[in-house]
Structure 1
Amino acid sequence: MNNLQINEVLLKRKQQILPSSILKGEFNQDLKIEVAQLNNVLMKLGYRLSYNLTQYLMMTTKEYILEVKVFLLKKIREMVGYAREMKPLFPNFPQVVSSMDVVDIIIFNIIYADLGFDRDAFDKVLNLFGIVEDEIKEEDKNISSNLKVIDIASLEDLQNLIIDMINSKTVYSKQDKKDLEVLFEYYAFDIKQILPEKIYFKENMVYIIKLFVVKGVDIKEFSYLLKTYTDILRLAVELSDGDTSLSQKTRFKNFTRRERKILLQLFDNCKVNLEDMLRHRQMYLRLGEKIHPGEYREKYSKAFKAFDMLRNNEDEIKRNTFNHKKEMYFKNRDISKILEVLESRPGEFARSLNRVLTSSENLHEDSFKVIDRFIKLADNVPIATLLSLQEYFLHRNDLESYRVFYPKGNISKVYALENNLQELDENLCSYAATSIQNKIIEILSKKEPLGKVFIDKSLEKYVAPLKMRDTSKTLMPIERGTRIDIENKKIRLFLHWVENTRNTDLDLSIVLYDEDFYEIDDVSYMNLKTNGCVHSGDVRSAPAPKGGTEYVDINLDKINEQCRYISVCINAYTHEKFYELQECFVGYMDLNKKLKTAYNPSCVKFKADLTSETTVSLPFIIDIASHKIVWCDIEYTSLGDINNIITNSNRNTMVVKSILDTYKPKMEKLARLNAIARGVVVDDISEADIIFTDKKDNLVDAIQNARIITPFDTEIISSELL
């Protein structure tokens, strides 16, 4: 297949492939067997071919079908986590663990600690210990009808994907960047022709500019996009492979003389804004050390003066900054001056609205007029921000014991503060939420019409993908807090990893909580079983190429009746960070049939790669009452010498509670607001021009004319709905 990397992007993001074979123009009946065999192996991985792709393949050649087969099997196995061997420590898991008493398990762990790395000796001990392989029963032949459909893509589909990604209204995730890099490799010239005059997020903008620079395009060609000092700083950070959110330190590269001149010219062309520089003073000073503005003080005099003022006149600059004025007016309790300064920056007004309303209430001002003044400026606030703000005021007085914060650009530094927020008048909160929603509808109404819109109720489970910057790579991209239906009462959690040069011990554990988040029990390497839960055993090394795998089987019908939530935890006992491993992924399977092996990719319902610079991961929570998986995707570094579920207990509980207590805009709301503003909502799916659903795979062949948008089409949502 030509452009394998392009097809990899399309397969991951759209479940499509772009064909490259020349058609013969007629069906070849002799190809039926090859196409059927391809479909058969795909079904075992949880996928199938669409009718359109089946038709296409039967008009190609055996050689081309083989190319498609090799490509699809390799990539889908990577996507669903199909590793070489994912055997549990105990043969015949989970039966053998369920039948062992506590004494047996303790003795087994002692033996394993000494002989676990000598597989031959370990197998002999298993036999002596009375653990033997039972006769394996044949796997059920029935294959689930709930399969993901691989469809055929057109060049127009590919171009639309590129346009949607460039026009994203959310910051790129790591996976977005990797995919864009591939697209630019093949289509950089064409992409340049469709580049808009404005790229919504500055972090996205500088990444796109960097991709062009790598392809040999001069930075000067993008000077029209770089309008502020911070834009140029972000570009310098991006060119140095740093954090363009500017929340972490960057070690700037040694720029060439040509690059230094270009950056200084860009600074010289901008309107002087010393406050912009003061916000990230240390970073600008380090950049100045790399581009040497003093060396070109005559040629780029404005740039030199700006850097010189920043270095030598910090206090003078501070006295005239926006933040200094804002904080002074808050301190003086001067609402009119607060509003006056905030109205110059609508985005900052949005972020400060709760604080202004609280101050206004305390001073007995007309707080409803404060909201009205904000709404007049809200056209200049991102829809994603307005959605989050509206959701906040809907639940403003649902006060919890503490508030949890996830710092931008570094979610691993999650922290909590005691919730001392003052309650606001319910009528005021309701007025704020209603006013903001009406403004969202007004802004959306200026976009292209949608026609007749059908909205599946299933979208209520999905959080709108507004902040995907630092999410883990998953089988299907979803936002934190999204709830996924558990389709069977029995599920199997899995953790697989392959170490690098030293023995690496990861631990898969679960913690059981009651309704009030008190710990009831746990299952881990220290406690292999409890009611309804069985652990597969403590794997303490995962050498390449096979790696190591741990499982936990859960029967939701047999769980302790006091249990409401189950938290899934991954701890790097030997303190390796996840990104240091060759491979590491976690997920769960739906045990809807008897399995021939411990791991069956066709049963995988969710899978996420762990690649962060941390040593603890809380991938998801099981809500037993609602029969749902709640996606957390929270990772942090353990502070203790021993890294397990006991030493991190308090922090884990805080994260679990915060995820379940946090209110975020749902995908159903985003779809409905767009439908109200831009179209007509219909109840009959057959009448729709646009279908919002999470069941695309069941509709691909049935509905040909309607456009289907799922919660996983993040590039479409970000580009067209926000």
Structure 2
Amino acid sequence: MDTLESLVITRRLRVPVDAPAASTPGWGEVAARQLDAALLSVGFTCSPALLERLARLPGETVVDLGVRVLAAVRHLVGDHVRHNAYFIDFPKNVPDTVEFWAGLLRQAMLDPVADASVQHSPALNLLTLPGYGGYRHTYADLLGAHAELVASAGDRVTVLELGASLESEAREWYFSLAGAEVPPAEEDLAALRSLAEFCAEEPDRIPVRENRAVINQARLVAGRPLLVDTVTDVLRLACGLFGGDVTLATPTRFLSFPRARRRALLQALDAVATPARLGDVSRHREQWKRLGERLHPGEYPRFPRAAHVFEVARGVREAPGLDSRVEAALSAGRTGEAVELLERAPGALLRRLDHLLRSGTSVSAVLDAAEKAVAGASGRVLLSLREHLQNRLASAAGRVFVNRNGRAWAASDARAPIEETVVSRAVAILDEEITRRLPDLGELVVDPEVLDVALPLSGKAVAPGLGMLPRGSLSAVDGELLRFFVHWRQAERSTDYDLSALMLDASYGDAEHISWTEYRNSFAVYSGDITDASDGASEFIDIRLAEAKRSIIIPQVNIYDGEAFDEAAEAFFGYMSRDAEQEGRPFEPRTVRMKSDLRGAGRVALPLVFLRGDDGAWRVKWLHLYLRGRAGFNQVEGNRVTTSLLVRSIVERDYLRVRHLVDLLRRKGTSGGHTTYIGLQAPADLPEGSRVITPGTLHELIPA
């Protein structure tokens, strides 16, 4: 499934077309229209340009390409599996929770075999009652019980654009990913690895270290010079060669290197291991030790500086890093010395700006140092600090910390306040530098719906999928009925995931929930609990928005038992929206608004939150959070307080959005001559040669 062609289709929403047009008219036009009709059944359609190009191809070529395109988009939307439901008539005829359990208990008492186990058990485990946790009908039975989906003008239609050749599409995507200023998601890193092997050319600039490590693997195999300027670049490359974590967040198990590869790594290390850079070694001391055991630097006396790296790792040679020297100065109250040290590393100074402003030294001196540092820091650092500062004056329920895997935790905010005049000057310094760096995008055409999308300052916690937006993004909710869904398939052991929803009032109190312990209330209903997913399992929750008694709805997926999200053979979450009168199967692909894989080390997934505004309209805000949870038996009731605090902190945080950069671009002005469109999906009437920026390429807005 993850071929380069299918990746281009699902991630870029473009169909690469390499084949030449037919020399004589054939049945390509008929095949193209048949493909378009099949795509519409899952919520996609061909753009006019794509349809016209397909119509000029041989019919057999269109059919072959159509099979691949349809398979790719069905996987993207989650329609590649059969979504059964525990209650065959869902959302109708779902019993009351107590009524359901009483029925199962009554059924067990009437079963002679089950009756004996129930009577002689010292404690009754309701989950082991006969008939619980498994489908009681086939998927064919489910289809027979549901009429066809009633078509609606509000059904999702995603346009697939005409692409160039696969080589050209891959090259364009490769340059976009490799040149991004934003750390990539795991899936993007994997795609970049495939693209680096496929594409011969490379972008001139690769700012993100993880991207550089992946590209260096391809360069090493091809015998080309490596792109390294720090010792850590070499460590990342070594980890990548063994399929390890190039982000260095988790240890890599090194095996034996071929002699030529050992020599190449030590040569690269020797070239960058200057005394000033040896201070970085202590950050990953243990991994350096393990790498040294495999590289045998003592066998290569012509690379003496490479040997110094491993001496630092073993503690034989001292090389205090910048961070340790700064911390020593701050601990001793020598803030001025700390600022002088940080002036050599502009990005590090700006990351510590909040701390330095609260350190008791001259605020004016710190801001003067920051004003000098902004020119040497990355655009992503400038924007991240800008977002931090615009939230600094607001009172918050607590501070939320999110790691690269989306794992979140909260802590009370004990920081001393910063004066408003100080924050205002710092923000002005940042905006001036950001504006200076913004490129000339020509005439801007902006879809108003994209203005509230958060800037993607990190892609690590966001698994790509359909309709995905960065954490903190806001978008409108269409339709009168929300339907959440989760699907999972276990790899080796019985696995039970539970789809649940926590509902809160506007003050994040008065909680109620829907889950396997509470099947329904006056406006929501649950499809039933599946406890084993050897052949795949799906669960659903319906929310009738007009009747909702709460203003905040938080869907979540709890791991009750079994495999973690990243251990399961497959696991994904999404939501559909429908009009009130629309019926159909529990899963209807053309009503899916969002679908994405579940991953991460947490045992509770919080993908997004639905919010009702003062005007009564509903909006969705993206979370991309995972709670650690317990090893087993996670339930929505058990994490209510943590979930409420985390969600409130995300909802109340003022994220830096596309609106901010658009305002700066318009203030800066343009020389004209070309057009750039920024939106959720490109319209068909843009001038030829226009640049298009959609959520999949939003990282291209982040200045260098």
Does the TM-score normalized on the shorter chain lie above 0.5?
A: yes
Output the aligned Cα RMSD: 2.8
> Which residue number corresponds to residue 348 of structure 1?
348
Residue 179 (structure 2) aligns with? 167
Equivalence map 1:139-288=2 (5 Å): 139-142=149-152, 144=154, 146-155=156-165, 156-187=168-199, 190-191=200-201, 194-196=202-204, 198-213=205-220, 216-218=221-223, 221-223=224-226, 225-270=227-272, 271-272=274-275, 273-288=277-292
Whole-angstrom CA distance in 2 between matches of 1:113 and 1:226: 58
Flag the 1:105–1:335 CA change in 2: closer, same or farther, 3 A.
Answer: same
Q: What does residue 636 of structure 2 align with?
A: 645
User: 2:120 maps to which residue?
Assistant: none
The aligned runs of 1:319-718 (5 Å cut-off) are: 321-359=321-359, 362-363=360-361, 365=362, 367-407=363-403, 409-412=404-407, 414-444=408-438, 447=439, 449-544=440-535, 547-560=536-549, 563-592=550-579, 594-625=582-613, 626-677=617-668, 679=670, 689-696=675-682, 699-701=683-685, 703-714=687-698, 716-717=700-701
Question: Shift of the alpha carbon at 1:235?
Answer: 1.5
Measure the CA separation in 2 of the matches of 1:52 and 1:306: 56
**SS of the residue aligned with 2:483?**
strand
Report the identity percentage: 24
1:691 maps to a residue whose letter is Y
In structure 2, give the amino acid aligned to 1:532. Answer: F
| Contact 1:264-1:303 within 8 A present in 2 as well | yes
List runs of 5+ in structure 1 lacking aligned partners: 125-130, 682-686
Counterpart in 2 of 1:14?
12
**Partners of 1:671 and 1:290 in 2: CA distance:** 51
Change in 2 beyond 3 A, CA 1:347/1:479: same
- Once residues 413 and 329 of structure 2 are traced to their aligned partners in structure 1, the CA distance between those partners, rounded to angstroms, is 24
Partners of 2:30 and 2:55 within 8 A in 1: no
Partner SS, residue 647 of structure 1 = helix
> CA separation in 2, counterparts of 1:73 and 1:323?
52
Secondary structure in 1 aligned to 2:451?
helix
**Could you list the runs of 5+ residues in structure 2 that have no partner in the other structure?**
108-126
Closer, same or farther in 2 for the Cα pair 1:300/1:639, shift >3 Å?
same
- Contact 1:492–1:588 (8 Å) recurs in 2: yes
2:635 alignment partner, SS class = coil
Task: Supply the AA of the counterpart residue of 2:131.
Answer: G
Q: Is contact 1:91–1:133 with CA below 8 Å preserved after alignment?
A: no
Task: Report the alpha carbon displacement of residue 478 of structure 1 after superposing the two structures with TM.
Answer: 2.1
Preserved CA contact (<8 Å) 1:452 1:688: yes
> Counterpart of 1:518 in 2: which secondary structure?
coil
Secondary structure, in 3 states, of the residue corresponding to 1:631?
strand
Output the CA distance in 2 between the equivalents of 1:325 and 1:119.
60
Residue in 1 that maps onto 2:111: none
Q: CA deviation at 1:157?
A: 4.5
Aligned pair in 2 of structure 1 residues 677, 283: CA closer, same or farther (>3 Å)?
A: farther
Q: CA deviation at 1:323?
A: 2.6
* Equivalent-residue separation in structure 1 for 2:647 and 2:676 (angstroms): 36
C-alpha displacement of 1:373: 2.4
- By how many angstroms is 1:466 displaced? 1.6
1:600 and 1:266 mapped to 2: Cα distance?
A: 54
Answer yes or no: is the 8 Å Cα contact 1:462–1:482 preserved in 2.
Answer: yes
- Corresponding position of 2:99: 104
Q: Conserved in 1, the CA contact under 8 Å of 2:452 and 2:474?
A: yes
1:128 corresponding residue in structure 2: none
CA distance in 2, matches of 1:602, 1:672: 35
1:300-345, Cα deviation, whole Å (9 max, x unpaired): 222224423442446x534xx4233322332343343222111111
Asked whether the 8 Å contact 2:36–2:46 carries over to 1, the reply is yes
What are the Cα deviations for residues 384-422 of structure 1, in whole angstroms up to 9, with x where unaligned? 111121122222111213211123x4433x322210111
Structure 2 contact 405–601 (Cα < 8 Å) conserved = no
459 and 327 in structure 1: CA distance in 2 versus 1, 3 angstrom threshold: same
8 Å CA contact retained: 2:86, 2:134: no
Map Cα deviations across residues 257-295 of structure 1 (whole Å, 9 max, x no partner): 322222222222222333121232222222222212233
Q: Does the residue aligned with 1:590 lie in a helix, a strand or coil?
A: strand
Partners in 1 of 2:254 and 2:464 — Cα distance? 28
TM-score by length of 2: 0.89
> How many Å separate the matches in 1 of 2:2 and 2:547?
47
- 1:137: Cα distance to partner? 4.1
Please give the alpha-carbon distance, in whole angstroms, between the structure 2 residues aligned to 1:381 and 1:677. Answer: 21
Distance 2:143 2:18 in 1: 47
With 629-638 and 4-13 compared, the bigger mean Cα shift is at 4-13
1:284 and 1:166 mapped to 2: Cα distance? 26
Answer whether contact 2:390 2:654 (CA < 8 A) is retained: no
Contact 1:274 1:310 in 2 (8 A): no
